[in-house]
């Protein structure tokens, strides 16, 4: 593996030589320069990962070299080498973008440690930036399939919100319509994209635990609070907090959320200090909140605070133009995931997909395509790949003797033997792919592996 390259710039030969020899012991590649002009020439030619730069140089000095390096590559770390009397100049260099400074006479072991830390920090920043770009590419508005007029209107509004200063958004729509995807697009195409996107499902946790997750807690606030913990509001500072299924939030938490929306401050559980953060709240629900208000399960004042900019996502049955593009998108994705080679969807299957009303919306369509890729022996999604309800068939109770029906013999049977046999069959059908086998059996992969261990199938 290639080691990082370090450019050492100093007008004293002995310093250049000793630094280079010492750093080479750690496996670094070293390039040296005696003057500022030579340093700039070597920097452009060698593209080093780190620069050790003396402030006092013949010709152009280290400060000017630093400024020119930062014009070429603002991200490369530069560590200034200074005399004790030049500390004020070193501070100036830090303001101009220097990573750190080293005082002469220096400790070679300290320089090796600082160099390693500088390079590790740069690598971490590059990895974070790479992941952020991947998130933007994955969750941007361009990744939302929606050619129908309703979705075009939704996307246009969401784009305007993303670029605005608005800090509160309410997404409404049936389950499976893609509210979470739209929330991420709003975040990753806003000026908050470099800060965290923190999602939480308001139905996934009991009220007390949800409060702690959102607002954090102080040490000793309750029995298991062994130490102070920051909540999602603090962790999302500068970014976005996505509150999924907000309609199911308990009244006690609703009042605390309302308080935050009104003054942008909150207290940790067990805390006395007000904490102020800058967070965009995107709330989502599949419930009719106006009906919930009438039923007194949702606060009216919170609803009006959240619904400053409401967006309603249409159900898939109202988006006929999008059904086949979505199906093909999912098919391409599962081809990659399962190393499959499906060429498309038959005309007859396409007609049925268009006729079906999709009560489970996009999520149901995705599941149908995934099922077809797993179960179909052909390389095309055809009629036989589709579930009975999409084909308009009436599902009748299974009869003894039909494939897939276990008939209980008069003498009885061992249920463990049946379970083991079904697991073996599922693994055979999926070429031992545990994830796909688990889906066939309606299990999680962990649950399948537990049973495989139980029956010595691992």
**pLDDT score for 414:** 78
pLDDT single digits (tens) 344-366:
999 999 999 999 999 999 999 99
Query: Which residues partner with 201 through β-bridges?
Result: 244
- Give CA torsion, residues 57, 63, 68, 74, to 10 deg: 130
188 phi, psi to nearest 5 deg: -75, -5
Is the C-alpha dihedral spanning 310, 315, 321, 325 positive or negative?
positive
Over its C-alpha atoms, the chain yields an Rg (Å, rounded) of 30
Domains of the chain: 5-131 (3.40.50.2300), 140-221+228-312 (3.40.50.300), 317-385 (1.10.8.60), 415-454 (1.10.10)
198 phi, psi to nearest 5 deg: -115, 105
Distances (CA, A) of 202 to 213, 230, 249, 290: 10, 18, 6, 18
Residues 145-169 as b/e (b if ≥16 CB within 10 A, e otherwise) read bbebebbeebbeebeebbeeeebbb
Supply 149's token pair: 């007029």
Q: What DSSP assignment string belongs to 10-53?
A: -S-HHHHHHHHHHHHTTT-EEEEESSHHHHHHHHHHH--SEEEE
Closest listed residue to residue 31, CA positions, set 5, 70, 69: 5
The CA distance from 166 to 30, in Å, is: 50
The CA distance from 150 to 52, in Å, is: 58
**pLDDT score for 402:** 52
- Give CA torsion, residues 156, 157, 160, 164, to 10 deg: -170
* Cα end-to-end distance, the chain, whole Å: 36
3-state secondary structure of 226: coil
Supply 453's token pair: 């261990």
Residue ranges of the chain whose pLDDT lies below 50: 1, 397
Query: What number of helices (H) and strands (E) belong to the chain?
Result: 18, 14
Query: Which residues partner with 169 through β-bridges?
Result: 282
Average pLDDT value for the chain? 89
**pLDDT score for 85:** 66
Would you say 287 and 293 are in contact if contact means Cβ atoms under 8 Å apart? no
Residues 302-317 as b/e (b if ≥16 CB within 10 A, e otherwise) read bbebbbebebebbbbe
**pLDDT score for 404:** 53
pLDDT single digits (tens) 71-115:
999 999 999 988 766 678 878 888 899 999 888 888 888 899 999
The CA distance from 197 to 199, in Å, is: 7
**pLDDT score for 240:** 97
3-state secondary structure of 78: strand
State the helix-helix crossing angle for 179-188 and 108-139, rounded to 10 degrees.
Answer: 130
């Amino acid at each position: 593996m290639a080691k990082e390259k370090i450019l050492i710039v100093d007008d004293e030969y002995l310093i250049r030589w000793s630094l280079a020899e010492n750093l080479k012991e750690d496996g670094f590649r070293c390039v040296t320069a005696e003057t500022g002009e030579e340093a700039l020439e070597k920097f452009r030619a060698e593209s080093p990962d780190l620069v050790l730069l003396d402030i006092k140089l013949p010709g152009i000095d280290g400060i000017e070299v630093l400024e020119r390096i930062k014009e070429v590559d603002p991200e490369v770390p530069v560590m200034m080498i200074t005399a004790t009397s030049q500390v004020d100049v070193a501070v100036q260099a830090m303001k101009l973008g220097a990573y750190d400074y080293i005082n002469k006479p220096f400790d070679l072991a300290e320089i090796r440690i600082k160099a390693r830390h500088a390079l590790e920090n740069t690598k971490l920043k590059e990895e974070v930036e790479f992941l952020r770009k991947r998130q933007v590419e994955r969750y941007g508005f361009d990744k939302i399939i929606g050619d129908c007029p309703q979705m075009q209107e939704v996307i246009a509004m969401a784009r305007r919100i993303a670029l605005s200063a608005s800090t509160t958004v309410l997404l409404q729509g049936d389950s499976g319509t893609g509210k979470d995807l739209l929330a991420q697009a709003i975040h990753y195409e806003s000026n908050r994209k470099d800060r965290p996107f923190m999602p939480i499902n308001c139905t996934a946790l009991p009220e007390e635990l949800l409060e702690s997750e959102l607002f954090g807690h102080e040490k000793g606030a309750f029995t298991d609070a062994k130490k102070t913990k920051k909540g999602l509001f603090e962790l999302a500072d500068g970014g976005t907090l996505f509150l999924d299924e907000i309609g199911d939030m308990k009244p006690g938490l609703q009042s605390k959320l309302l308080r935050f929306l009104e003054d942008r401050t909150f207290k940790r559980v067990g805390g006395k200090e007000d904490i102020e953060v800058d967070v965009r709240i995107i709330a989502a629900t599949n419930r009719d909140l106006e009906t919930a208000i009438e039923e007194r399960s949702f606060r009216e004042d919170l609803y009006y605070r959240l619904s400053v900019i409401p967006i309603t996502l249409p159900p898939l049955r109202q988006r006929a133009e999008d059904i086949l593009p979505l199906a093909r998108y999912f098919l391409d994705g599962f081809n990659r995931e399962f190393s499959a080679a499906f060429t498309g969807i038959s005309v007859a299957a396409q007609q049925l997909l268009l006729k079906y009303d999709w009560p489970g919306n996009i999520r149901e369509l995705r599941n149908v395509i995934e099922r077809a890729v797993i179960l179909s022996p052909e390389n095309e999604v055809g009629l036989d790949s589709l579930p009975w309800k999409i084909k308009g068939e009436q599902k009748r109770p299974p009869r003894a003797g039909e494939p897939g029906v276990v008939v209980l013999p008069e003498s009885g049977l061992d249920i463990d033997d049946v379970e083991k046999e079904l697991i073996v069959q599922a693994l055979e059908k999926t070429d031992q792919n545990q994830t796909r086998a688990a889906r066939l059996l309606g299990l999680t992969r962990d649950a399948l592996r537990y049973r495989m261990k139980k029956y010595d199938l691992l």
